[in-house]
């Protein structure tokens, strides 16, 4: 896997729990530290509780990267992208995974535990950890949407672009 051994935070709801456990074990085997934000069983839970924990930790810089899983990945994507400086990417295929890193510098990988199988999930995680950000023109684009947090939805700059 990657030479980058930066610690990762991981979380899931009950639907993503079985795959989270397998991914966590795989990441630990590569020598990367991982913090598990829950859930810790397959009992029904509310996915936002775990998405919030992971996204907040990435947003404030406690972790550079995180991984989230729920049934489809949609809910975790929605909740985590509400946090400043979080670029969560729902990746259930290899091409999206690579592009989420190269062009969008995604810092949270989101997957659907009921959508993809274990083998594909492991390959997605591997690619996501190893693929570098291309920077340059893509960095300028990221700075534009990071700036949305500074102007707010009602900011005059935002209204002018509508």
Confidence of residue 150 (pLDDT cuts 50, 70, 90): low
Length, in residues, of the chain:
162
The answer to whether residue 64 scores a pLDDT higher than 60 is: yes
- Plot region of 154 (φ>0 → left; ψ -120 to 50 → alpha; else → beta): alpha
34 phi and psi, to 5 degrees?
A: -140, 135
62 band by pLDDT with thresholds 50, 70 and 90: very high
Q: Which of 70, 85, 138, 154 is catalytic?
A: 70
The verdict on whether 138 is a catalytic residue reads no
**From the candidates 26, 56, 85, 103, which is the catalytic residue?**
103
Averaged pLDDT, 62-70 = 98
pTM of the model: 0.88
Average pLDDT over residues 29-52: 97
Percent of the chain with pLDDT over 70: 88
Range 97-103 average pLDDT: 96
Contact 87, 124 (CB under 8 A): no
Q: Active site includes 91?
A: no
- Domain limits, the chain: 8-136
Look up the CATH number of domain 8-136: 3.40.1400.10
């Amino acid at each position: 896997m990657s030479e980058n051994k930066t610690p990762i935070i991981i979380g899931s709801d009950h639907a993503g729990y079985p795959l989270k456990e397998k991914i966590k074990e795989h990441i630990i085997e590569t020598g990367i530290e991982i913090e598990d934000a829950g859930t810790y069983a397959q009992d029904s839970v509310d996915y936002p509780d775990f998405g919030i924990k992971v996204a907040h930790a990435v947003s404030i810089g406690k972790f550079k990267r995180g991984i989230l899983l729920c049934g489809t990945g949609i809910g975790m994507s929605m909740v985590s992208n509400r946090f400043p400086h979080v670029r969560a990417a729902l990746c259930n295929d290899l091409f999206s995974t690579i592009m989420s890193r190269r062009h969008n510098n995604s810092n949270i990988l989101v997957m659907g535990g009921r959508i993809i199988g274990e083998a594909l999930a492991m390959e997605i995680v591997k690619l996501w950890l190893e693929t570098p950000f291309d920077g340059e023109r893509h960095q300028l684009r990221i700075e534009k949407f990071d700036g949305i947090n500074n102007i707010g939805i009602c900011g005059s700059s935002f209204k002018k672009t509508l």
